[in-house]
Structure 1
Amino acid sequence: MTSPLIISSDSHVVEPPNLWTDRMDTRFGDGIPHLEHDEPYDQWYCKGQGVSTLGAFTSAGKRFSKPETINLEGSFAEVPPGGYDPDAHVKDLAIDGVHADVLYPSVSLGLYGINDTNLLRPILSAYNDWLAEFCGSHPKVLKGIAAILLEDDIPAGIAEMKRAAGKGLSGAMISVYPGQGYFYDEPMYDPFWAAAQELNMPISLHVGTGRLGRAQLVEDGKIVQTGADRSNSDHWVRMSLSHLVLGGVFERFPDLKIINVEHELAWMLYWLNRMDMTYVERTTQATYRFSSDMLPSDFVRRNIYHAFQEDAIGIQHRDMIGVTQLLWASDYPHAEATFPESQRILSEILEGVPQDEQDLIVGGNCARMYGFDSDIK
């Protein structure tokens, strides 16, 4: 039997300390993200406020050996070289038995909490330039996802997405939850959806990128996150996906692809049922009416894809979600990563799944989405 193509649909780079200090104009002053040492660990700062710690980016593999040592605090010296060195990254792929990666940021996820849009746009643009260079060193096996801000300037977001595509990046990430007044069912976003559809650029909603500001996540200048926050992180993506579906976005843009990233799967079983019930029975609340007899769940199974790591319950109910919509991910080199045990975990969560479906889930769907060649094995 031929071994399947294995691609992680959600892995990460870890931004080096000089990324923004080398690439951003000095006029931005202390708004340029920079790394400071706060004994005994490092933390990223922007305008005097902590915006990202490093512990979650230094803990790959600890969950299998010393899970009690995983925390949000760490130093850049502990980051695996594969986070910032593309050659080392490819070597770690081989160690884990993975053929290729789709790459998202680490520090830049938290930077979506910066309220100043005139500062955040050049920050994300500088990151996109660095990521394009990182992926460009191994373009057949590394595909990068650009970080895009929409909010108060949709044309600027469209221009940055087109610029990123021209640099070879393969998709675009927007805020998982843009906040009150900017929900994704608003007509102002239609030019962006149209551009993404025309460019064939999948649009990702990654955990941890909400435009909610840092206030509730920061105490005494240091980032905190409670167990309740972590356990309910799928709340925000459910809201945004619901706006997209019930707002008719996929009816207007039938070839638009949205990727739900790092929120796992099992919650979708209830959500799909609830959306269908709401659309059919609560017409005064679900006011947009589709022009066909399609239900909300039909659009989900056609237009929305799901990057997950090891949700065995979701896999058991994969027919409800759609086998062609499932994209396995390793989350390397983060604390939740399946690295370096990806092969074992895949065999466990896919036990009993027909081989043709396994092939789609572990790499076939992702290869089709991002244009990976089959000869990379």
Structure 2
Amino acid sequence: MSRELPWVVSVDDHVVEPPDVWTSRLPAKDRERGPRVVRATCRTEYVTANTVKYHFGGDGPETDWWVYEDLRKPVPQVVACVGFPRESLTMEPISYADMRPGCYDPAARLADMDLNHTEMSLCFPTFPRFCGQTFLEAQDRDLALACVRAYNDWMVEEWCGGSGGRLLPLCLIPLWDPQLAADEVRRNAARGCRAVAFTELPANLGLPSIHDPARYWDPFFAACDETGTVVCMHIGSSSRMPVTSPDAPEGVRMALTFANAQYSFVDWLMSGALARFPKLKIAYSEGQIGWMPFVLERVDNIFRHSRAWAGLDPSITELPSTYAAGRVFGCFFEDDFGIASRAAVGLDRITFETDYPHQDSTWPRTREILERIAAEVGPDELYGIARGNALAMLGMEDPAR
């Protein structure tokens, strides 16, 4: 006997920013210095299995390039590849004219969500990178701050503004200043933004870690705690993906994409941040979930047996796993082991994604995946996995109930 499948609330999709995001929103004096799109030829050089270089003006086909300060960056096809056969995907650049319009146009995105049994979607950026590293690396910090604010204005007002609440805003922060970050969190929370992108491993970006003894990030964490803004950390948001060796095939790197989320999860559970900010919530986007139970067990055993010399923050007075309940969320697209281990993962912390328009996207077959999950779980569990936990994470009521 079949049953109705809940419509998905996806907590990890992506938007390829339209070419005019910054040229239409920055002050006139900055528009020729801010991010903009130009046409030029491109030669794609495969340095290793894991490294590709794009040569602006090189001997190759013409494409669209993002230009900002010294940066010249096309959009790789695998980043905007929905609608293409999987066997044809490459790291070659793709022009806007060749992308599926749902990559960058909100009306087309909503239509593609309808085709994919998806009601709501939270989208990470493309040109700024997963947590805005592009602006962290910029030379002109004043311009970079203006770019972060312009992106957030576009995200709230234009990408999400006409969607009837189906596209959910995910904003950026100026990573180089925690007080400015806190200000930006509060500015966007006041207009309905419930999530902000952050890096899984700040030290990899040359920033203080979340263990910093001066508690560098506390102003930012306090703003998120105060406003109910979820700290969303996408795999790769530390600009370094785990790999075993320089000559390992790309498949090794792809198999290990969860590892940085695992490291970050341990960081957060043993940093004291979740203890100091009791309403703070974090999410691991595209990190999958099957590895989470062992980490919870391991950190608790360290607390039981080794806390006298483990150097843990004194604010951690309970088992570290207790700080994760209802506050740390995992995100998956295909993780059969994680679903089989759902009780150990924590039924209230499992969320689902479609990863549109990336190479791992479940579009347009998300309904098929839900049907497979439905064969393994009860109806209440399926509701939580598909949408209920995501809405609870974001502090939202379910419009369908």
When the two structures are superposed, what TM-score results if normalisation uses the length of structure 2?
A: 0.81
- Specify the alignment match of 1:220 in structure 2: none
User: For residue 285 of structure 1, what is the aligned residue in structure 2?
Assistant: 310
Cross-structure match for 2:48: none
Q: Secondary structure at the match of 1:146?
A: coil
Q: Hey, what does 1:335 align to over in structure 2?
A: 359
Distance 1:51 1:270, change over 3 A: farther
Instruction: State the 1:323 CA deviation.
Output: 1.0
Pair 1:30–1:228, CA change in 2 (3 A): farther
Query: Is the partner of 1:346 in helix, strand or coil?
Result: helix
Describe the superposition over 1:246-279 as per-residue Cα deviations: whole angstroms up to 9, x where unpaired: 0111111111110111111123233333323333
Higher mean C-alpha deviation, range 4-13 or range 21-30:
21-30
Match of 2:146 in 1: 122
Matched, 1:59 2:81: yes
1:273 aligns with 2:297: yes
Residue equivalent to 2:273: 249
Q: Of 39, 44, 48, which aligns to 2:66? A: 44
Deviation readout 1:208-228 (Å, 9 max, x if unpaired): 32266x9x9xxxxxxxx9544
Tell me, in whole angstroms, the C-alpha distance in 2 between the residues paired with 1:227 and 1:31. Answer: 38
Deviations 1:142-169 (A, max 9, x none): 2111011333x11100111111223332
The aligned amino acid for 1:46 is Y
Q: Which residue number in structure 2 is paired with residue 78 of structure 1?
A: 98
AA partner of residue 357 (structure 1): E
Give the Cα–Cα distance (whole angstroms) in 1 for the partners of residues 298 and 92 of structure 2.
Answer: 35
**Cα RMSD over matched residues?**
2.8
**Is the 8 Å Cα contact of residues 11 and 330 (structure 1) preserved in structure 2?**
yes
User: Residue 79 of structure 2 contacts residue 357 of structure 2 at CA under 8 Å; is this kept in 1?
Assistant: yes
| Alignment deviations for residues 274-298 of structure 1 (CA, whole Å, 9 cap, x no partner) | 3233333343234324554x32222
| 1:24 lines up with 2:46 in the alignment | no
Q: Which residue identity lines up with residue 54 of structure 1 in the other structure? A: P
CA distance in 2 between counterparts of 1:116 and 1:177 reads 19
- In structure 2, relative to structure 1, the CA distance for the partners of 1:92 and 1:372 (3 Å cut) is farther
Q: How do 1:199-210 and structure 2 match up within 5 A?
A: 199-210=227-238
Structure 1 residues 6 and 309, CA gap change in structure 2 (3 angstroms)? same
Which SS does the other structure have where 1:194 is aligned?
helix
1:348 aligned to which of 372, 376, 386: 372
1:1-377 alignment runs, 5 A limit: 3-25=5-27, 32-36=34-38, 37=40, 38=42, 39-40=60-61, 41-51=63-73, 53-62=75-84, 65-71=85-91, 73-109=93-129, 111-113=132-134, 114-116=136-138, 118=141, 119-133=143-157, 134-151=159-176, 153-179=177-203, 180-186=206-212, 187-210=215-238, 226-283=250-307, 284-289=309-314, 292=317, 294-375=318-399
**Shift of the alpha carbon at 1:203?**
1.1
Structure 2 residue ranges without an equivalent (≥5):
43-59, 244-248
**Deviation per residue, 1:65-114 (Å, 9 max, x gap):** 43342435322222221222222111111111212212222222255145
Q: Using the alignment, how far apart are the partners of 1:291 and 1:106 within structure 2?
A: 36
AA aligned to 1:288 is D
Displacement of 1:370: 2.7
How many angstroms apart in 2 are the aligned matches of 1:33 and 1:25? 12
Higher RCO (C-alpha 8 Å, min separation 6)? 1
Which residue does 2:47 correspond to in 1? none
CA–CA distance in 2 between the matches of 1:243 and 1:298? 15
Please say if residues 141 and 376 of structure 1, whose CA atoms lie closer than 8 Å, have aligned partners that are also in contact.
Answer: no
Distance change (3 Å), C-alpha of 1:289 and 1:321:
farther
SS in 2 for 1:145: coil
More divergent stretch after superposition (81-90 vs 105-114): 105-114
Deviation by residue 1:103-149 (Cα, 9 ceiling, x = unmatched): 22222225514523715433222211111122110132121110113
CA contact (8 A) 1:112 1:120 kept: no
Cα drift, residue 230 of structure 1: 3.5
User: In structure 2, do the counterparts of structure 1 residues 256 and 373 end up closer, same or farther at CA, with 3 Å as the change threshold?
Assistant: closer
Q: Shift of the alpha carbon at 1:324?
A: 0.7
AA partner of residue 58 (structure 1): A
List gaps (5 residues or longer) in structure 1. Answer: 217-224
Q: Matched residues in 2 for 1:197 and 1:106: separation?
A: 27
1:337 Cα deviation from its structure 2 partner: 0.9
Counting helix residues as a fraction of each chain, which structure ranks higher?
1
**Whole-Å separation in 2 of the counterparts to 1:53 and 1:85:** 16
SS, match of residue 392 in structure 2: helix
Match of 2:57 in 1: none
Q: Shift of the alpha carbon at 1:197?
A: 1.3
| Contact 2:262–2:291 (8 Å) recurs in 1 | no
